[in-house]
Amino acid sequence: MWRILSRYRPKFTRQLTVPPYILDLACREAKLAVEIDGSQHIDSEADVQRSRFLESEGWTILRFWNSQVNDNPDGVAEAILQKLAECLGDTHPQPPPFQG
C-alpha cells in the first residue's frame, strides 16, 4: 500500500506517532489515518477506544483488513485517495511532477 500511496501528494507517512498510538499510514495535512489490520482486531475494544481518541483529536480513520489490501491493493488505494480528497475539501491528491 505504501508503494502506491507514496507517489501522491500531500504526502503520507508510515508509522506516524500520535501519542499514545502509532498509525500505520497517515496524511498529516488531511489528518487521515489508515489502519491495516489482521484478524486479531475483530471486535477489538482497544481499536474502538483508539478510534474515539483519534477522532477527538480531529483525525479521520479508515480501516482495512490485510486480506483486502492483498487481494485488491488498487481498489483500497482508490478508496483511500477518495477519502483523502474529501478530507481536503475535494482537492484531489496528485502524483508529484515528473522530474526527468
The DSSP-derived string for 5-43 is HTTSBSPPEEEEEETTEEEEEEETTTTEEEEEE-GGGTT
Q: What is the CATH classification number for the domain harbouring 72?
A: 3.40.960.10
Question: What are the cell numbers at 15?
Answer: 508509522
What is the per-residue pLDDT across 71-81, written as a single tens digit (0 to 9) for each? 999 999 999 99
Q: Which domain holds residue 36?
A: 2-87
What is the per-residue pLDDT across 11-58, written as a single tens digit (0 to 9) for each? 999 999 999 999 999 999 999 999 998 766 577 788 889 999 999 999
Q: Which residue(s) pair with 62 in the sheet? A: 34
Nearest to 37 by CA among 52, 19, 50, 27: 50
Count structural domains, the chain: 1
